[in-house]
A and B are shown apart, each in its own frame.
Chain A
Amino acid sequence: MRQKLSSILAAGLLGGAMLGGTINASADPAGAMVGNPCAGCHGIDGASQGQAPVIAGLNTMYLDMTMKAYRDGQRYATIMDRIAKGYTDEQIAAMSKFFGDKSWPANTQSVDADAAAKGQKLHMSTGCVGCHGQTGVAMMPNVPRLAGQYAGFLNQQMLDYKDAGKAIPPTAMVMRSMLSGLSDEDIAALAAFYASQK
């Protein structure tokens, strides 16, 4: 609704000489310009349908700091580091707002129930719950939502955070120590638990 209203306002300000009536993109053409090309890997509006992470509806501040961490070599990735280097601070701010303003999608994925149950226990006992909330929905803006995120991505992300040879943002250093005592199987269970949550 907000987007529609602002586009009507923008259209009004631009005068009535347009051929096409309402122009949606005028609400935020710069955000759409840098945000829409991401759909190829991250899904329409960031609502991924594959194992690439959902970025729709993540906290704007988290998105902004994450893109900068990838860009500045502070966070390991197979590809996102290479891509993030292509953007200025202004572009990163625009795309972070673009995706931050979207809603988290109601995707479902099939998850091993036993692994998820084990993961839930670990989530409570290891202390993940402290930052990531009861179900993997964080209250703090610099902590990402995990509930409903893809298991493949989460699993890989935790393995990367645990790996001392891979770059990790200073703000996420706590993750390395949290994960240090967990086996690959534990990590897969945690990923299954978060993936199973809504």
Chain B
Amino acid sequence: MAFNRREFVKLTGAAAGLATLGLPLVASAKGSASIVVIGGGYGGATAAKYCRQYMPDAKITLIEKDKYYYSCPFSNEVLGGDKTIEEIRFGYDGIAARGIDVVIDEVTGVDPAAKSVSTKGGQKVSYDYLVVSPGVSFKGNIEGYEGEQMNKMPHAWKAGEQTTLLRNQLEAMADGGVVMIVAPPNPFRCPPGPYERAAQIAHYLKHHKPASKVIIMDAKDKFSKQGLFMEGYNKHYEGMIEWRSAANDGKVNAVKGNKLITEFEEHEPAVANIIPAQQAGALAGAIGLTNESGWCPVDQRTFESSIIKDVYVIGDACIAGAMPKSGYAANSQGKVAAAAIAAKVGGYEMPDPSYVNTCYSLITPEHGISVAGVYRLEDGKIAGVKGAGGLSPAGASDATRQVEAMYARSWYANITADLFG
């Protein structure tokens, strides 16, 4: 986000001033709710679509800073070489065709008092309900990881240009090189992501640079689907993937030049992929939607912010009880938030919320594993339904892993159609 706190306050201050003078910035038409969604990823694109479905007469605006969206799910397969960057790129024509105003512009301020959003391009859009789906931003947990260093050691944790940078480095690397993936501390976007990435990079190396190695440097002592990943690594990439836990000096504290620095050692891998610690997207902090944790507290029934009324926060940025920070979770949350807003607009009781998550990971193109969860509200918190969900079985047959890989690709086709189709 290219605005700082001071500019933001200035902007919203000015907006509030205008509003008190009785000059509404954009009058919302009588009898028709105006809903603005900020962020066109898995959460925001879903929220906009389902608001449209539930409220055919509402004015719905989606504001997104980039013309194209690059999907984080399946971006690891771009690193592995089974997908191209174009195959994970989506435009907003499908969303516009649903009768949603798509504004490609950067949000510079939100004025919760005047209920308006201002953009870099000079637009001001008023809202009755605002949905914010800002994704994640990075925390400075790794000293020296800023500016040009972020291109030198790509994070590739926001897909697009960064994915291409990392892929190019892998392609340029000589056989026998070491690739280090620095995995972040909890909580972070896509808990199985760094470990699927290790497999996908190893998949590429195995076929093109078989003397090379992948080392995961972890800030944690355990990780998502660990047993299933380890089983897959041993089966397909024996001796190629090494995992260093935090207890085994895996925690990288600083980067300098080509070096990764831990408490006891310095490493100089051929390719370094740094995934820093995370918090809610910068916009959420600037609007004032975050608490001391850096994430956004919400009413977990509706996703309305606990801090600002009529503002809903969904996706990775929000605190959603037992749900992980995943694309599917954001998609599911966007639907619940849309239903909650529709109920408010329509003046009826919202049905009990129901939320789902499924995360597939591909260890090879024919070896898929999954974790699933079904969630409901318990005592005001999103809780996993007991006995439901969980992991693919350990030690399953090749045929089973193959079926899961088939459904992983099917998932990607279906969820991206749900978002952008």
Contacts and interface: CB of A to CB of B under 8 A. Distances in A.
Given A25-B54, A29-B351, A19 B411 contact: no
Interface stretch (B191-199, B203-211, B218-226, B388-396): B388-396
Interface stretch (B108-116, B177-185, B258-266, B399-407): B399-407
Interface string B338-353: 0100110111101111
A123 to B, nearest CB: 23
Interface string B126-152: 001000000000000000000000000
Given A19-B32, A29-B351, A51 B343 contact: no
Contacts of A23: 54-55, 342, 345-346, 348
B353 A44 contact: no
Contact of B31 (A21, A42, A44, A84): A21
A106 interface: no
Contacts of B339: 25, 29, 32-33
Nearest to A38: B356
B163 interface: no
B410 A52 contact: yes
A20 B417 contact: no
Interface string B315-345: 0000000000000100110011001001101
Interface string B408-421: 01111111011001
Contacts of A74: none
A83 B374 contact: yes
Contact of B358 (A32, A49, A79, A84): A79
B85 to A, nearest CB: 21
Nearest to A44: B418
Contacts of A142: none
A15 B354 contact: no
B407 A79 contact: yes
B56 A24 contact: yes
Interface string A75-86: 000110011111
B4 interface: no
B33 interface: yes
Given A22-B56, A37-B332, A78 B31 contact: no
A61 interface: no
Given A26-B346, A50-B414, A37 B403 contact: no
Nearest to B345: A20
A39 B418 contact: yes
A44 B336 CA distance: 16
A160 to B, nearest CB: 9
Given A39-B414, A83-B358, A51 B409 contact: yes
A20 B55 contact: yes
Interface of B: 31-33, 50, 53-58, 128, 328, 331-332, 335-336, 339, 342-343, 345-348, 350-356, 358, 370, 372-376, 385, 387-390, 392, 399-400, 403-404, 406-407, 409-415, 417-418, 421
Given A26-B342, A37-B356, 10 more contacts: A18-B346, A21-B31, A22-B55, A25-B339, A40-B331, A43-B418, A44-B421, A49-B413, A78-B403, A86-B374
Nearest first, the 6 closest Cβ-Cβ pairs linking A and B are A86-B374, A50-B410, A21-B57, A86-B388, A23-B346, A85-B388
